[in-house]
Structure 1
Amino acid sequence: MESNQQIFGIRAVIEAINSGKSIDKVFMQKGLKGDLSNELEQLLRQEGISTSYVPIEKLNRLTNKNHQGVIAQIAPVEFNNLDDLVLEVIESGKLPLFLILDQISDVRNFGAIIRTAECTGVSGIIVAKKGGAPLNADAVKTSAGAIFKIPICKVDHIKDAIYHMQASGIKVIAATEKAKQTIYDLELKEPCAIVMGSEGFGINPSVLKIVDDQAKLPMIGTIASLNVSVACGVILYEALRQRL
């Protein structure tokens, strides 16, 4: 069965996925057995849908319906195809500015980033199918509705998205404290994509190896880093300042 934001029941979730429903995340009861649950697990792996295995108490808190050990969260937006979006932006004649989020896990940070991205004219946001914050009601609220106004793409691997950007003539810049130069030293009046890393671990080292450039924000206080949504806002507004 289905509510406004959830689909519950094994068969219902399988049918939703097969019909092309935009599923953001699936919660499955730990230790769930049976042919139908095995079929669902195989489908989730095949489609690359983020899955969390949780105790039944967690599922009972999410809904009082007969969930059969499975609840799927419906994404509030339809995701864009990355290839189509990049081509559309380039052909529009607008100067591309993409945002790539590498495992941002806090849903409120995610929503705040989406809001700032829309305000600064970001062409689209790219996230991985697995491991990131869900696009749920909290993300919608924190984004102040911006989530419905900016294209969002989900990809299997962040590195593949970066390679595609580079092949399309878009420079990829990683925001990292490991950089020697600051964001203010970079030329951002060219097609570019900014990579922001997770709250706890930053950008994956394998991602840092393939980007075109790295930049940091200057810090003169005693705190080691900024909140990722704040840092993202500073960087996007520097890009906007240069482009105005």
Structure 2
Amino acid sequence: MKKGNLIYGIRAIIEAIEAAKPINKIYLQRGLSGDLFKELEQHIRRKGLSSSYVPVDKLNKLTTNKHQGAIASISPVAFQDFEATAEKILTSTEKPLFLILDGITDVRNFGAIIRTAECTGVHLIIVSKNGAAPINDDTIKTSAGAAFNIPIAKVDHIKDALFYLQASEVKIVAATEKAPMDIYQVDLTNPLAIIMGSEDRGINPSVLNLVSEKTKLPLLGSIASLNVSVACGVFLYEVVRQRMG
């Protein structure tokens, strides 16, 4: 984590929140109290920002400056407003393609997915505000700079995005090894959103219950699953193949 991507000090972080800076995560010193610290906690809860309470040693490793028990990691990429961006895409694009990432936590997987999404014409990537990999220097590097070229939006809950897109007649297709059919049996030529799950647990069961189609990739070897960034690439290029055909 580079120093240029950090804001430290309680008041400075409050001002960054009020200025709507693209904050990845806020680290708070465990056991700290005080009026200003409580005010920061209120801002974090109100905005639904990702945060964690850590020992002071963790904060001291992030910076040698006086941090007052609070350090924020800032994203080098500004996140888009989901509804405003989705509405613009839906009204201006005949066959929009959305990519929803449910719990991708590895920054290099995230970067690789962003790179493939940009190459395959994805119009918007959607992630959750909590529990998702941050956009940091490693993400940018792995994406080969594609993170600067494709809109990325954060939502409070993945379900919020699903409900909105379904109301806009967007087909929701989930990638899961428990699916009854493979990706090559599904029509991907209409307005579409593809959901990819986390590296360890896949897509949240409550999210799976809301999708239009569940589909998988055929696996012919002895390994039970593919890396999520590789699987995402196969899914997205099947969309390209069907739409070009």
Shift of 1:93: 2.9
Return the alpha-carbon distance in structure 2 between the equivalents of residues 134 and 30 of structure 1.
Answer: 22
* Residue of structure 2 equivalent to 1:120: 120
One-letter amino acid of the counterpart of residue 57, structure 1: D
Identify which range, 76-85 or 44-53, moves more after superposition: 76-85
**1:4, distance to aligned residue in structure 2 (A):** 2.6
Match of 2:187 in 1: 187
- Structure 1: unaligned runs, 5 residues or longer: none
Q: Residue by residue, what CA displacement relative to the aligned partner does 1:124-152 show, whole Å, maximum 9, x if unpaired?
A: 00000011111111111111100000000
Looking at structure 1, the residues matched to 12 and 195 of structure 2 have their Cα atoms a distance apart, in angstroms, of 36
How many Å apart are 1:90 and its aligned residue?
Answer: 2.0
After TM superposition, the structure 1 stretch with the greater mean CA deviation from structure 2, 40-49 or 81-90, is 81-90
Structure-1 residue corresponding to 2:19: 19
For normalisation by structure 1, the TM-score amounts to 0.96
**Equivalent residues in 2 for 1:142-181, closer than 5 Å:** 142-181=142-181
Cα distance in 1 between the residues matched to 2:70 and 2:37: 9
For residue 28 of structure 1, what is the amino acid of its counterpart? Answer: L
Question: What is the identity, as a one-letter code, of the residue corresponding to 1:58?
Answer: K
Q: Deviations 1:140-185 (Å, cap 9, x if unpaired)? A: 1111100000000100010010010101111001100010100110
**Within 1, Cα distance between the matches of 2:140 and 2:33?**
34
Deviations 1:214-237 (A, max 9, x none): 100001111111111111011001
Aligned position for 2:84: 84
- Cα deviation for residue 33 of structure 1 reads 1.5
Find the counterpart in structure 2 of residue 56 from structure 1: 56
What is the rounded CA distance, in whole Å, between the counterparts of 2:152 and 2:94 in structure 1? 18
Alignment of structure 1 residues 213-224 onto 2, 5 Å = 213-224=213-224
1:100 to partner: Cα distance: 0.3
Q: d(CA) in 2 for partners of 1:52 and 1:114?
A: 26
Secondary structure of 2:108 counterpart: helix
- State how many pairs are aligned: 243
Amino acid of the residue matched to residue 148 of structure 1?
F
Q: Which residue does 2:229 correspond to in 1? A: 229
Query: Aligned with 1:134: secondary structure?
Result: coil
How far off its partner does 1:94 sit? 3.8
Q: Which runs of 4+ in 1 moved over 3 A?
A: none
Q: Distance in 1 between matches of 2:181 and 2:22?
A: 40
SS at match of 1:117: helix
- Which is further off, 205-214 or 65-74? 65-74
In the other structure, the counterpart of 2:5 is 5
Partner of 1:108: 108
User: RMSD of aligned C-alpha atoms?
Assistant: 1.3
In the TM superposition, what whole-angstrom CA distance separates every residue of 1:176-214 from its partner, at most 9, and x where no partner exists? 001010011011111000000011110000000011111
Identity level (%): 60
| Corresponding letter in the other structure for 2:227 | N
Gaps of 5+ in 2: none
Point out the more displaced range, 116-125 or 26-35. Answer: 26-35
Secondary structure in 2 aligned to 1:4? Answer: helix
Comparing 219-228 with 78-87, which one deviates more in the overlay?
A: 78-87
